[in-house]
Amino acid sequence: MKTRYITFVLLFTIMSLLAQNIPFNQNPKYTSKLNPNYNSNISPKYNSQINPKYNSNLNPKYNSSLNPNYTSSIDPRYTSGLDPKYNSKINPKYQLNLDPRYASWEGKHLFNELAEVLGILVYANSRIYLFYDIDGEWIGYFVRAKTNYNLFNLDGEWTGQYLCSDSEGGYNLFEEDGEWTENFVK
């Protein structure tokens, strides 16, 4: 019985160390001003200024300077410094401080419409956020294009998704056609 208890306590301790705890005041599940479901200023449904469907300046479909298919300086296939595969300074295999499984990190969380964590964005440099799932598995990266961030998979292919600023320190995730996925970053 004692062995089970010790094993349970050890497992609980290890799991809590590995879990990424979000401070109460930074968690949109508990702080309504951070949640686009409760704050119309950061919701693309109610604020057309931050919605690329209604603001073509924010939409890569209509603004070629935001579209990696038309602007090579924001496409990691043509600018190797943007691709973690070829830039060891932003590759978590070589920089363990960029891997949330091994170090505390600077960055943001991706939430779904219920304010549940879907992923982690780790700040690699002023142009790159590395993207991890909630288990800490590296699944892609975001490249800055002016105020937007385009999402690329690990092979350097643009997924068509991008982040647009919510004008209050976070982002909303959109599909290529400008449809809001209802996912957001804080």
Instruction: Please count the structural domains in the chain.
Output: 1
Q: 30: which residues sit within 8 A by CB, 6+ positions away?
A: 24
Q: What is the pTM of this model?
A: 0.87
Range of the domain at 57: 23-185
**What residues in the chain have per-residue pLDDT under 50?**
5, 7-19
Q: Does residue 12 lie within any of the structural domains?
A: no
Tell me if 172 sits within 8 A of 164, measured CB to CB.
yes
Identify the pLDDT of residue 22: 87
Q: Does residue 77 lie within any of the structural domains?
A: yes
Q: Does residue 107 lie within any of the structural domains?
A: yes
Q: Does residue 180 lie within any of the structural domains?
A: yes
Q: Does residue 64 lie within any of the structural domains?
A: yes
Identify the pLDDT of residue 12: 42
Nearest-angstrom CA–CA distance, 110 and 115: 9
Q: Does residue 8 lie within any of the structural domains?
A: no
